[in-house]
Amino acid sequence: MSMDLALRLGLVELNWNFVFQLINTLILFLILRHFLFKPVTTFMQNRENEIKNQIQDAKNLEEQGLAFKGEYEGKLKHAEEEGKEILRKQTQIAETKAIEIVKSAEAEIESMKVSAQKELERERVKAINELKDQISELTILAASQVVQKNLSESDHKELIDKFISEVGDTRWQN
């Protein structure tokens, strides 16, 4: 009776329609599985693999980026140190050149002083000699007027030269 009751209620009826529906459902499942589920599953698997590959590529790129960043920071630090070294060397070269320029200027000044002193000494000797010549001429002129014809001109010159040589040298060198 339980089967009769179930059959009357229309829940499950075991007849040929039920068997055909069951076979149709199974055929429909196999067709869908073959034409729909397999391509969708394959598509989903391929998509999953692509995503995994993209994630792996992104990780690889991140690792490469970190490696490049480390390398770049190392090169940057090396470049900074190299720049500081170049600056230090150039500063040292500039200081050395400055010292050389100062020494050269001091030597040139000293040379100019010596040259100026020599020139002054030459000018002094020249002035003294010119003054001696003028004094001798004045002395000759004065003596000739005083003595007028008592002494010859050669005696006058000898007397003046003797006077200048005795008095002039000691007096002019002071």
pLDDT of residue 174: 46
Question: Could you state, in order of their start, the residue ranges of all structural domains in the chain?
Answer: 2-173
Alpha helix locations (H) across the chain? 2-9, 16-32, 38-147, 153-163, 169-173
pLDDT of residue 1: 43
Instruction: State how far the alpha carbon of 115 is from the alpha carbons of 52, 101, 123, 130, in Å.
Output: 92, 21, 12, 22
The residue assigned the tokens 């770049």 is 72
pLDDT of residue 54: 95
Q: How far is it, in rounded angstroms, from Cα 132 to Cα 115?
A: 25
In terms of Cβ atoms closer than 10 Å to its own Cβ (0-12, 13-18, 19+), residue 55 is exposed
pLDDT of residue 151: 62
pLDDT of residue 91: 93
DSSP summary character for residue 11:
S
Q: How far is it, in rounded angstroms, from Cα 133 to Cα 69?
A: 93
Q: pLDDT tens string for the chain (174 positions)? A: 445 544 555 566 677 887 888 899 999 999 988 888 888 888 999 999 999 999 999 999 999 999 999 998 999 889 999 999 999 999 999 999 999 999 999 999 999 999 999 999 999 898 888 888 887 777 776 666 665 555 677 777 777 777 777 665 555 444
pLDDT of residue 24: 94
